[in-house]
Amino acid sequence: MITPERWEMGRGEAGAERERPDFRSPGHAAEARIEEPQVLLGRMASRLESVLIGKRETITQAMAALLAGGHVLLEDAPGVGKTMLARAFARVIGGRFARIQFTADMMPADITGGMIWDGEKNEFVYRPGPIMANLVLADEINRTPPRTQSALLEAMEERCVTVEGETRRLPEPFLLIATQNPLAYEGTYPLPEAQLDRFLMRLEIGYPAPSDEVRMLEEAGASRQTRPEELRPVVTTGEWRQMQREAGRVYVHPSLCEYIVRVAGATRQASELSLGASPRASRDWLRAAQARAYMEGRAYVLPHDLLDTAMPVLCHRIAARPGADRTMALQRILKETPLPEGDRPGGGRR
């Protein structure tokens, strides 16, 4: 039996022991933190929830995706807080924030920037686009045609943009939060599969519970509602980069990597699906599980970290055949694929 202690120690078949990363020291970082990372992350979540009341799990998942160095797609009906959550993230992380309001007539240069004539220098110079920011809000991304949406592909994966044959690096960290309305809404375009695959997580906010909606109305009626622009940064961009590096060092037992591959392989062979999970999806699933473990203060991944992140990481990357449902297909695959011993749904950790 593989116990949590074995996940932590990372003993392989040869019995070699892996050194546990020390999250309490700054390591290679330029400056030491005054507080533990998990304290800072908890404070960030609390401040975000003061804006988006009652949505702690959505906030936690979004934080894990960004901590893993990925991007987030928020898809839901208008008015549930998608844009507000993105703006709040920009405030608590710090750094430069830019918002791109996507419209039907937007051009790729409106995102990446372009060359303009400088009369003083008597030459063309590069004018940075809004993509040159630490956290970018791509608002209503599916209201612009696919040609303009594709302008984000290089930025999302390579962290750079190419304009007039010259490649320019984006600032670090670079985080993209995109919002979109359901495709049934008028004036929307489907995102290309290649772009969907570059979002580490797709999340839905959903309507608030009645008690949370009452609290929201009470605070709004008394002018006590917290607005995103009122939030103060919890970390600097340097601290956030440091936490991203530390999350990437969280240990993953080989049997968990094998489990990820089995699930991904099952999606590629499922009769209900026409498109299975890509290798990028497998990588992103592992990174999301590392981030969830790091947020809980663990230096090792447990199987439940994978289960907690499976649906938001994988579901938007697969496609169902006519008459089938991709969510139900993925749920079936997760249920039928045996977990490594040590942690099972409903059974607690062994």
Beta-carbon count within 10 A of 147 CB? 12
**pLDDT at residue 187, as a whole number:** 67
Name the strands in the sheet holding 97-101, side by side, starting at the edge strand that comes first in the sequence.
97-101, 135-139, 175-180, 72-75, 201-203
User: Is the domain 33-247 a CATH 3.40.50.300 member?
Assistant: yes
The total number of residues written for the chain in this structure: 350
Domain boundaries, the chain: 33-247, 250-350
Single out the residue of 62, 38, 37, 66 nearest to residue 48, CA to CA: 62
pLDDT score recorded for residue 176:
93
For CA atoms 118, 152, 68, 53, give the dihedral sign. Answer: positive
| pLDDT tens-place string over residues 276-321 | 999 999 999 999 999 999 999 999 999 999 999 999 999 999 999 9
- What residues contact 159, with CB distance under 8 A and at least 6 apart? 169, 170, 172, 174
Q: Which ranges in the chain belong to alpha helices (H)?
A: 4-9, 37-51, 56-67, 82-93, 109-112, 146-149, 153-158, 193-196, 210-221, 237-247, 254-269, 279-295, 303-314, 326-336
Question: Residues 122-163: pLDDT tens digits?
Answer: 888 888 899 999 999 998 888 888 778 878 888 998 999 988
Q: What is the pLDDT of residues 312-347, one digit of tens each?
A: 999 999 999 999 999 999 999 999 999 987 544 444
Residue 102 backbone dihedrals phi, psi, to 5 degrees: -75, 135
Percent of the chain exceeding pLDDT 70 equals 86
Residue 85's region, left for phi above 0, alpha for psi from -120 to 50, else beta, is alpha
Please compute the mean of the pLDDT values over residues 97-109 and round it to a whole number.
Answer: 89
Specify the pLDDT at position 284.
97
Percent of the chain surpassing pLDDT 90: 51
Q: Which two tokens stand for residue 17?
A: 């022991």
> Are 263 and 254 in contact, with CB atoms under 8 Å apart?
no
Residues 228-246: tens digit of each pLDDT: 888 999 998 989 999 999 9
Between CA 44 and CA 93 the distance in angstroms is 8
**CATH code, residues 250-350:** 1.10.8.80
Q: State both tokens at 46.
A: 């609390």
Please give the Cα distance from 14 to 230 (Å, whole number): 54
Q: Evaluate if pTM is beyond 0.75.
A: yes
The pLDDT tens digits of the residues spanning 52-80 come to: 999 999 999 999 999 999 999 998 888 88
Minimum mean pLDDT among 22-26, 262-266, 269-273: which range? Answer: 22-26
* 33-247 and 250-350 have identical folds: no
Q: State the Cα–Cα distance between residues 134 and 94, nearest whole angstrom.
A: 8
